[in-house]
Amino acid sequence: MNLYDRIKALADTQKISIRRLEENIGFGNGTINRWRKNTPGVDKLSKVADYFKVSTDYLLGRTDDKTSLSPKEMSDIGQLADRMLDGLESENSVNFYGEPMSDEDKASLKAALLVALEMNKKRSKKD
């Protein structure tokens, strides 16, 4: 599926025409149709991605994951997981069934937090 086909499929899902999409994001008539042969600029591609709440990588066919996260979002998630673990440690240390958690257990908990936070962020981007 090429760029135009992906945009058309997204527009169809929202029951709008390509023309209506162009109007909604301030493009001239036929702008997106020209993308069948010409590659758009990053700024225009980003506007379409933002409108549909998908990544530019999805539009370009680099991924089939509509809600992939940017490197900044992934970094933010990592920082949030670290703050959560720090918060747990400030409460007289992290315990696991009454015993202090080992560094290995803490790393496992952090990995689980990262997965959960990433899934939650992706879910929020779909809504």
Residue-range domain boundaries for the chain: 3-59, 71-126
> Which pLDDT value is given to residue 118?
81
Q: Higher-confidence residue: 92 or 60?
A: 60
Q: Which tens digit of pLDDT belongs to each residue from 15-62?
A: 999 999 999 999 999 999 999 998 899 999 999 998 998 888 889 888
Mark 74-91 as b/e (b = at least 16 C-beta within 10 Å).
eeebeeebeeebeeeeee
**Looking at the predicted structure, is the pLDDT value of residue 66 above 80?**
no
Class of domain 3-59: mainly alpha
> Which pLDDT value is given to residue 64?
78
pLDDT band at 7 (very low <50, low <70, confident <90, very high): very high
**Looking at the predicted structure, is the pLDDT value of residue 96 above 70?**
no
Measuring CA to CA, which residue among 19, 26, 121, 8 is closest to residue 70? 121
